[in-house]
Amino acid sequence: MGGYRQLLNGCIPLALDRTGGSIMVEVTKLTFEDEVLKADGTVFVDFYGDGCVPCAALMPTVHAYADKYGDKIKFCALNTTKARRLAIGQKVLGLPVMAIYQNGEKVDEVVKDDATAESIEAMIKKYY
């Protein structure tokens, strides 16, 4: 997982499911609006940053949740190091932040020390 970097519809899939569909989509400041804010249904966003040790530690867990719950929830990731203004605009002021969006609005999130595998999965299950 994670090695696939071919541009696909303006997005970079971080992982692929067995049928070739994207499980986790790397969004950028250029694609965030279309992929998250204008998306139909529920969208999970992993806000992470370069050098964020807790973010890196959670990444395999988040990818596993994308595999498990990706049939009903779209999973995306945004590197805030490359999109600081966007992150601030989304009120992401510390990392890691895992958020749920519906109809273009952030409806739930777990942040910093509260971003544990258990709390992330509990949040996902509320919207699954």
Identify the active-site residue in 12, 14, 52, 83.
Answer: 52
The residue extents of the domains of the chain are 12-127
> Please, are residues 100 and 118 in contact by the beta-carbon 8 Å criterion?
no
Q: Tell me, yes or no, if 11 is annotated catalytic.
A: no
Is residue 89 predicted with pLDDT exceeding 80?
yes
Instruction: Output the CA torsion 46→51→52→56 (10° steps).
Output: 60
The mean predicted confidence, pLDDT, of the chain is 87
Identify the active-site residue in 12, 55, 58, 62.
Answer: 55
Task: Please tell me the predicted confidence (pLDDT) of residue 9.
Answer: 42
Task: Please tell me the predicted confidence (pLDDT) of residue 5.
Answer: 37
| Chain segment 32-45, per-residue pLDDT in tens | 999 999 999 999 99
| Chain segment 70-86, per-residue pLDDT in tens | 999 999 999 999 999 99
| Chain segment 17-31, per-residue pLDDT in tens | 443 444 899 999 999
Q: Please, which pLDDT band fits residue 14 given cuts at 50, 70 and 90?
A: low
Taking the model in full, what pTM does it have? 0.84
Q: Which fold has domain 12-127?
A: Glutaredoxin (3.40.30)
Q: What percent of the chain is predicted at pLDDT more than 70?
A: 83
| Chain segment 108-128, per-residue pLDDT in tens | 999 999 999 999 999 999 999
Q: Tell me, yes or no, if 52 is annotated catalytic.
A: yes
